[in-house]
């Protein structure tokens, strides 16, 4: 009976915690006065083995960290790229009932109708832009990521094209490449109208190359979300976009996909010294 009682108490406590989190979020939205502070984790850097021609910030997925991706990126045959792999802040995440983990922004569900954590997206996009802001002027700059990191990379692309963050502050970085693996596009419903209202936005969108890759067997971020994101970007005025699908691929990456990324980055950034083993 004591064990059953303990289980009931824990379940009840977790339920209360989840409801408390949801109520606090609603209160913050209603009042419009919530200003969160975000403490980003450790940043891992992979130095170029050859001539430094490009710098790419690579963003991990939900619950991960920069270290895991830096180890993979270091093995890629791209000697002229410097990789910067930051770690997202640890924050309560609605999809986990408010349980804290590393996340670039808060998310309750992955869908076009889900509430958007614009404050979190802006904070992460600004952090990425700040990491790129100290690179030499002759270095091409890009952003890539996996899953939630890919969503943040695509959001950063829209900030670059529009010239400002969602909060209206100026976006300061000129991007040359965006890579999204197993991700989705936040704010997709309003993007086309926003770009069409800006001549500079139309010009920037036309010149920014994007690579989106998605597994057809993805059971975390469904393939349809990646496909719809590609369609939304294309219709919004991104003609230099490639969407690659992989039969049987789940929510992870495979050598076939990373080989595609290497070839695409080499071609679009004009990199030298690429050799695919």
Is-contact 109 62, C-beta < 8 A? no
Tokens representing 196 are 């069409």
Is-contact 164 200, C-beta < 8 A? no
The catalytic position among 147, 156, 180, 188 is 147
Distance CA 96, CA 104 (A): 14
* Whether 218 is catalytic: yes
* Whether 18 is catalytic: no
The catalytic position among 44, 180, 218, 225 is 218
* Whether 251 is catalytic: yes
Identify the bridge partners of residue 91 per DSSP, sorted by sequence position: 101
**Cβ within 8 Å of residue 140, ≥6 positions away:** 53, 54, 55, 176, 177, 269, 270
Q: Is the C-alpha dihedral spanning 170, 166, 220, 22 positive or negative?
A: positive
CB count within 10 Å of CB 164 equals 18
Catalytic (active-site) positions:
147, 218, 251
């Amino acid at each position: 009976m004591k064990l059953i009682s303990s289980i009931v108490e824990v379940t009840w406590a977790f339920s209360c915690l989840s409801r408390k989190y949801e109520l606090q979020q609603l209160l913050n939205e209603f009042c419009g006065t919530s200003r969160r502070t975000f403490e980003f984790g450790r940043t891992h850097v992979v130095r170029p083995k050859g001539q430094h021609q490009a710098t790419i910030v690579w963003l991990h997925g939900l619950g991960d960290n920069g270290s895991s991706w830096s180890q993979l990126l270091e093995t890629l045959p791209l000697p002229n790229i410097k990789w910067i792999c930051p770690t997202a802040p640890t924050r309560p995440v609605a999809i986990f009932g408010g349980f804290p983990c590393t996340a670039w922004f808060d998310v309750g569900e992955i869908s076009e109708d889900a509430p958007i954590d614009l404050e979190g997206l802006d904070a992460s996009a600004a952090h990425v832009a700040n990491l790129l802001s100290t690179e030499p002027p002759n270095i091409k700059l890009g952003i890539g990521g996996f899953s939630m990191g890919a969503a943040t990379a695509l959001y950063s692309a829209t900030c670059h094209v529009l010239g400002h963050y969602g909060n209206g502050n100026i976006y300061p970085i000129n991007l040359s490449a965006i890579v999204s693996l197993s991700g989705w596009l936040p704010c997709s419903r309003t993007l086309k109208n926003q770009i069409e209202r800006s001549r500079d936005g139309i010009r920037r969108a036309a010149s920014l190359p994007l690579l989106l890759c998605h597994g057809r067997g993805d059971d975390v971020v469904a393939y349809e979300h990646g496909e719809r994101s590609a369609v939304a970007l294309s219709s919004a005025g991104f003609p230099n976009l490639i969407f690659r699908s992989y039969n049987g691929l789940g929510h992870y990456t495979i050598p076939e996909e990373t080989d595609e990324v290497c070839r695409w980055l080499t071609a679009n950034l004009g990199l030298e010294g690429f050799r695919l083993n």
